[in-house]
């Protein structure tokens, strides 16, 4: 403990050098923290929203777009598919669960999703207030939607055409809020859920010219896509091929598409990691130079300590503890800085209404930050520590 | 007590320095005289057990130092006053002494530090940094550090170098006084003629003349 105390005092005896080294090391660690945090949370968000969904079936187009729009609600869908085709899939023996998703409208930037109560059961949604819808044109709000729009149970609102907001309002067909979901951290938090029939009704009422036209529209009803859970894992081999070759729809495997996406994101993360690595290397060099010059400057003082009875390992420990302090302080500062930037990023993404990042998240991966700091500091201190270890008192006596 | 017999030290370069024999009783004073390069530092290093003699024998504080000495032995038996004092500027006066206790592997003893500083008349300076001390005060603090662990032998390396006459006399007086109070054997390595004069007038003193290139003679 005493060694730590002396090391602390010696470290701060050159405050500018210590502060600059601390800053450099902290910046590198902050970068690492940020990359780890964002990576962890994106993977967690993907894992949470994809849980239990084996395949997504929708209109032909980009399979990744289908997954992003259908599961994560962060892209535009590839188109619509006939309701009859999806109902036929429901009867397929390989399908254990099918959740239809219809989209096209939004309210203040939040998507209105036509679906069935199965969607909420799938993500284990819990009502914070109100109750499940009982009829078309009733809606249940995700926690974030309710928070941001101020809508409460019993309130009415009219959706606007399009997913990004700014489209024309469907003023003739307002929704009534029957419930608000508790926050779940899943995609549901930023959705407005309503029976599929609501979406049909809004658009049919807006476009039908007369009763006959209404009848035709009803016969041509569509949904945007379907989230499907297989009855058996073996279905993964045959079901997508069946959809892709025998129907006008496409089947996209979330696991496959997301691993492809993460591969793309991974390149960016690797670049950030490499940048952080360069920063850490520079910081390591800074720490090395600081400790090396500390040994050089204090060589005679260290020799005197040897004369007073200090063992070589005591002097080495003294130097090593200085590096340890730097590592410890830089870890704390770096993680705080990384969390701060992640929090800012979370705010920015929140504004975008895309993937939710939680500020002040402490995944176990963050243990890598102090470990890295210790590693860099220990490596940087290696040579100076050795130099301190072999300080010669004889030289001190002879140098005048 | 310090006793040497046929003492010699062989440098890595091949040359060997031979020293005259000395016998200094416990509480006595030994003055190492000689120009730079005459071997004063080597003799001090041998007495501190930092290096081992290549020939002969050296006995310090009852211990024959055949192959040098351990750090702990040095901490217990040797007090050292270096020429440049080497008080750490980052630490207060009190902490400079506490650091010496840490170096010696001992727990911090604030009372002993306070009494050691007080004995040298610098007790009220405990919280100051070395940069805030005068030259004389700094030397007293360094001396307090040297005798903090009540060593049996005090080694002083050029204690009066770069001091004016008055300050040199004061430093020599202080050294002699502290060594006497502690009952420690005092070894002073110096080429300062004023010190010889002071110690000869003060009482019995052993003098080891170290002459270039190698031979040394003893006078008492």
Interval A275-316: pLDDT, tens? 778 877 887 887 888 788 877 788 878 888 888 888 888 988
Of A221, A252, A283, which residue sits at a domain end?
A252
Q: Are residues A365 and A276 in the same domain?
A: yes
d(CA B62, CA B70): 14
Question: CB under 8 Å to A340, separation ≥6 — which residues?
Answer: none
Residue A373, domain member (yes or no): yes
Q: Mark yes or no for CB contact A310/B71 under 8 Å.
A: yes
Q: pLDDT below 70 — which residues of chain A?
A: 163-171, 205-209, 266, 350-360, 395-400
Interface with B, mutate which of A10, A11, A307 (most B CBs under 10 A): A307
Burial of B42 (0-12, 13-18, 19+ CB in 10 A): buried
Cα R_g (chain B), whole angstroms:
17
Phi and psi at B149, nearest 5°, equal: -95, 20
d(CA B66, CA B197): 34
Q: Are residues A321 and A189 in the same domain?
A: no
Q: Mark yes or no for CB contact A393/B48 under 8 Å.
A: yes
Q: Mark yes or no for CB contact B41/A398 under 8 Å.
A: yes
Antiparallel, parallel or unpaired: β B29-34 and B206-210: parallel
Tokens describing residue A358: 């939680």
Q: What 8-state DSSP symbol labels residue A188?
A: G
Residues in chain A: 400
Residue A258, domain member (yes or no): no
Highest mean pLDDT among A235-249, B31-45, B166-180, B192-206: A235-249
d(CA A290, CA A243): 65
Cα distance from A312 to chain B (closest Cα, Å)? Answer: 9
d(CA B124, CA B126): 6
Helix, strand, coil: what percent of chain A each, to 5?
60, 15, 25
Q: Are residues A158 and A75 in the same domain?
A: yes
Which H/E stretch holds residue A359?
A: none
Residue A257, domain member (yes or no): no
- Return the residue of A nearest to B48 by Cα: A307
Q: Are residues A117 and A185 in the same domain?
A: yes
Residue A260, domain member (yes or no): no
- DSSP-assigned states of every residue in A174-185: -EEEEEEEPP-S
Three-class SS state of A11: helix
Tokens describing residue A247: 């129907």
Neighbours of B85 (CB within 10 A): 18
- Per-residue pLDDT at B214: 46
Domain that holds residue A116: 55-252
- Per-residue pLDDT at B219: 45
- Return the residue of A nearest to B87 by Cα: A301
Residue B218 has pLDDT above 60, yes or no: no
Q: Work out the angle at residue A386's Cα, subtended by the Cα atoms of residues A383 and A392, and round it to the nearest 5 degrees.
A: 130
Q: What 8-state DSSP symbol labels residue B78?
A: E
Antiparallel, parallel or unpaired: β A225-230 and A55-59: antiparallel
Q: Are B50 and B68 in contact (CB under 8 A)?
A: yes
Q: Mark yes or no for CB contact A10/B90 under 8 Å.
A: yes
B158: chain A residues, CB-CB within 8 Å: 400
| Number of domains, chain A | 2
B102: chain A residues, CB-CB within 8 Å: 2-3, 6, 310, 314
- Return the residue of B nearest to A9 by Cα: B90
Q: Are A108 and A68 in contact (CB under 8 A)?
A: no
Cα distance from B214 to chain A (closest Cα, Å)? Answer: 17
Instruction: Please give the C-alpha separations between residue A97 and each of A52, A55, A231, in angstroms, as whole numbers.
Output: 10, 11, 8
Q: Are residues A73 and A200 in the same domain?
A: yes
- Per-residue pLDDT at A209: 65
Tokens describing residue A85: 């085709």
Three-class SS state of B64: strand
d(CA A330, CA A28): 9
d(CA A384, CA A256): 50
Residue B210 has pLDDT above 80, yes or no: yes
Q: Mark yes or no for CB contact A310/B84 under 8 Å.
A: no
d(CA A109, CA A145): 9
B103 or A274: whose pLDDT is higher?
A: B103
Q: Mark yes or no for CB contact A310/B76 under 8 Å.
A: no
Cα distance from A332 to chain B (closest Cα, Å)? Answer: 25
Residue A259, domain member (yes or no): no
Q: Are residues A303 and A231 in the same domain?
A: no
Cα distance from A343 to chain B (closest Cα, Å)? Answer: 39
Q: Are A189 and A353 in contact (CB under 8 A)?
A: no
Neighbours of A234 (CB within 10 A): 10
Q: Are residues A248 and A103 in the same domain?
A: yes
Q: Mark yes or no for CB contact A304/B82 under 8 Å.
A: yes
Widest CA span in chain A? 111
Q: Are A4 and A12 in contact (CB under 8 A)?
A: no
Q: Mark yes or no for CB contact B103/A310 under 8 Å.
A: yes
B95: chain A residues, CB-CB within 8 Å: 9
Residue A337, domain member (yes or no): yes
Q: Mark yes or no for CB contact A12/B90 under 8 Å.
A: yes
Predicted ipTM of the assembly: 0.79
B192: chain A residues, CB-CB within 8 Å: none
Three-class SS state of B33: strand
Which H/E stretch holds residue A26?
A: helix A15-50
Cα R_g (chain A), whole angstroms:
30
Q: Are B14 and B29 in contact (CB under 8 A)?
A: no
A12: chain B residues, CB-CB within 8 Å: 90
Q: Are residues A167 and A204 in the same domain?
A: yes
Q: Are B40 and B23 in contact (CB under 8 A)?
A: no
Helix axes A254-297, A368-389, angle to 10 degrees: 20
Cα distance from A397 to chain B (closest Cα, Å)? Answer: 5
Q: Are A106 and A164 in contact (CB under 8 A)?
A: yes
Of A194, A221, A252, which residue sits at a domain end?
A252
Residue B155 has pLDDT above 90, yes or no: yes
- Per-residue pLDDT at A290: 78
Cα distance from A144 to chain B (closest Cα, Å)? Answer: 55
A305: chain B residues, CB-CB within 8 Å: 99-100, 103
Residue A31, domain member (yes or no): yes
- Per-residue pLDDT at B131: 92
Cα distance from A5 to chain B (closest Cα, Å)? Answer: 10
Q: Are residues A242 and A281 in the same domain?
A: no
Count how many pairs of residues, chain A against chain B, have C-beta atoms within 8 Å. 83
Q: Mark yes or no for CB contact A400/B104 under 8 Å.
A: no
Which chain B residues have any C-beta within 8 angstroms of a chain A C-beta? 36, 41-42, 44-45, 48, 50-51, 71-72, 74-76, 78, 80, 82-84, 86, 88-91, 95, 99-100, 102-105, 108, 145, 149, 157-158, 161
- Per-residue pLDDT at A137: 92
- pTM of the predicted protein model: 0.70
Q: Are residues A81 and A40 in the same domain?
A: no
A396: chain B residues, CB-CB within 8 Å: 82
Of A223, A252, A281, which residue sits at a domain end?
A252
Q: Mark yes or no for CB contact A13/B89 under 8 Å.
A: yes
- In this complex, which of B74, B86, B102 lies closest to A2 when CB atoms are compared? B102
Confidence at B215, pLDDT banded by 50, 70, 90? very low
B82: chain A residues, CB-CB within 8 Å: 300, 304, 307, 396-397
Q: Mark yes or no for CB contact A306/B71 under 8 Å.
A: yes
d(CA B47, CA B41): 10
Q: Which of B157, B136, B135 is nearest to B146 (CA)?
A: B157
- Which residues are bridge partners to A56 per DSSP? A227, A252
Q: Are residues A283 and A395 in the same domain?
A: yes
Q: Mark yes or no for CB contact B103/A309 under 8 Å.
A: yes
E-only strand ranges, A7-54: none
Residue A19, domain member (yes or no): yes
- Per-residue pLDDT at A82: 92
| Cis bond upstream, residue B170 (ω within 30) | no
Q: Are residues A318 and A369 in the same domain?
A: yes
Q: Which of A209, A146, A204 is nearest to A170 (CA)?
A: A204
Q: Mark yes or no for CB contact B161/A304 under 8 Å.
A: no
B72: chain A residues, CB-CB within 8 Å: 309
- DSSP-assigned states of every residue in B102-126: HHTT----HHHHHHHHHHTT-GGGT
Q: In degrees to the nearest 10, what's the CA dihedral of A370, A372, A378, A383?
A: -150
Neighbours of A9 (CB within 10 A): 16
Q: Are A387 and A295 in contact (CB under 8 A)?
A: yes
């Amino acid at each position: 403990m005493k060694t730590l105390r002396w090391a602390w005092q010696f470290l701060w005896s050159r405050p500018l050098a210590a502060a600059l080294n601390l800053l450099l090391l902290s910046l590198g660690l902050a970068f690492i923290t940020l990359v780890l945090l964002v990576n962890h949370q994106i993977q967690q968000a993907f894992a949470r929203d994809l849980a239990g969904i084996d395949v997504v079936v929708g209109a032909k187009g980009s399979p990744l777009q289908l997954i992003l729009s259908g599961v994560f609600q962060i892209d535009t869908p590839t188109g619509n598919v006939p309701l009859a085709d999806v109902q036929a899939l429901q009867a397929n023996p390989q399908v254990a669960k099918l959740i239809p998703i219809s989209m096209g409208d939004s309210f203040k930037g939040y998507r209105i999703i036509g679906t069935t109560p199965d969607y909420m059961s799938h993500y284990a949604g819990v009502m914070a207030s109100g109750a499940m819808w009982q009829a078309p044109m009733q809606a249940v709000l995700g926690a974030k939607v309710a928070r941001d729009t101020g809508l409460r149970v019993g309130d009415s609102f009219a959706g606007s055409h399009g997913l990004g907001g700014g489209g024309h309002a469907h003023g003739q067909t307002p929704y009534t809020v029957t419930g608000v979901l508790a926050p779940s951290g899943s995609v549901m938090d930023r959705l407005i859920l309503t029976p599929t029939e609501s979406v049909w009704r809004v658009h049919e009422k807006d476009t039908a010219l007369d009763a006959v036209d209404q009848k035709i529209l009803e016969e041509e009803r569509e949904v945007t896509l379907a989230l499907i859970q297989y009855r058996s894992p073996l279905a993964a081999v045959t079901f997508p091929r069946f959809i892709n070759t025998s129907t006008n729809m496409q089947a996209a495997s979330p696991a496959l598409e997301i691993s492809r996406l993460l591969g793309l994101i991974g390149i960016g993360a690797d670049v950030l990691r490499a940048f952080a690595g360069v920063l850490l290397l520079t910081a390591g060099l800074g720490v090395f130079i600081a400790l090396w010059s500390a040994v050089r400057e204090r060589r005679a003082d260290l020799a005197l300590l040897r004369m007073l009875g200090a063992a070589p390992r005591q002097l080495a420990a003294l130097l090593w503890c200085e590096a340890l302090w730097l590592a410890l302080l830089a870890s704390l500062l770096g993680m705080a800085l990384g969390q701060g930037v992640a929090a800012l990023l979370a705010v920015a993404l929140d504004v975008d209404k895309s993937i939710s990042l939680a500020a002040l998240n402490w995944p176990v991966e963050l243990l890598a930050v102090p470990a890295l700091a210790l590693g860099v500091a220990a490596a940087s201190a290696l040579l100076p520590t050795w130099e301190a270890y072999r300080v010669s008192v004889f030289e001190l006596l002879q140098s005048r | 007590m310090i006793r040497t017999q046929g003492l010699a030290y062989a440098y890595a370069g091949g040359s060997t320095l031979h020293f005259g024999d000395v016998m200094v009783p416990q509480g006595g004073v030994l003055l190492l005289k000689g120009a730079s390069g005459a071997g004063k530092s080597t003799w001090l290093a041998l007495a501190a057990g930092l290096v081992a003699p290549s020939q002969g024998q050296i006995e310090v504080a009852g211990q024959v130092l055949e192959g040098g000495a351990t750090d702990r032995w040095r901490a217990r038996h040797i007090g050292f006053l270096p020429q440049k004092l080497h008080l750490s500027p980052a630490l207060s006066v009190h902490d400079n002494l506490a650091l010496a206790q840490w170096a010696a592997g001992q727990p911090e003893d604030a009372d002993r530090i306070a009494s050691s500083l007080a004995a040298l008349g610098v007790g009220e300076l405990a919280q100051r940094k070395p940069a805030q001390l005068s030259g004389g005060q700094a030397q007293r603090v360094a001396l307090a550090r040297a005798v903090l662990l009540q060593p049996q032998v005090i080694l002083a390396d050029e204690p009066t170098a770069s001091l004016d006459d008055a300050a040199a006399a004061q430093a020599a007086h202080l050294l002699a006084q502290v060594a006497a109070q502690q009952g420690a054997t005092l070894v002073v390595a110096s080429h300062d003629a004023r010190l010889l004069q002071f110690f000869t007038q003060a009482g019995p003193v052993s003098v080891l003349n170290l002459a270039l290139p190698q031979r040394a003679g003893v006078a008492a």
